[in-house]
Structure 1
């Protein structure tokens, strides 16, 4: 089985943000949601719910961002 970078989606109080995605990115987002749903056993009815955890994971693993954020 494939090990995806995202795990189960945590439901928090959202902040509304509107973005436009290229069609190819949207198709990949939908495909990712399908794979994640199969892997976790929890269907992802709204693939846009993956955007926030993806961005969060990206920022959490960006060493240059962490360094800049800490001011060192």
Structure 2
């Protein structure tokens, strides 16, 4: 069986936004939730997958990480430490 990129979903206080998805993407999201649910043995709400998927995408985007790091370096005073958790 193939290993999915998403693992268990963290319970975190959400910020509500509204997005429109193309129908084909919504069908794929439903299929992904079904497969993940079978793998984990728990029902997964497709909408709950969107945030972890975006988070995973951004975490693995090297260009974004490099530009984000450069922007933070420019905005911090010399000798100060980056924020905790970074």
TM-score by shorter chain over 0.5: yes
The runs of 5 or more residues in structure 1 that have no matched partner are: none
Task: Check if 1:22 corresponds to 2:19.
Answer: no
Aligned pair count reads 71
C-alpha separation between the residues in 1 aligned to 2:24 and 2:13? 29
The runs of 5 or more residues in structure 2 that have no matched partner are: 72-86
* Matched ranges for 1:36-47 at <5 A: 36-44=36-44, 46-47=45-46
SS of the residue aligned with 1:71?
helix
C-alpha separation between the residues in 2 aligned to 1:40 and 1:70? 35
Q: Alpha carbon RMSD of aligned pairs, Å?
A: 1.0
Q: Which has the larger radius of gyration?
A: 2
TM-score after normalising by structure 1: 0.94
TM-score after normalising by structure 2: 0.79
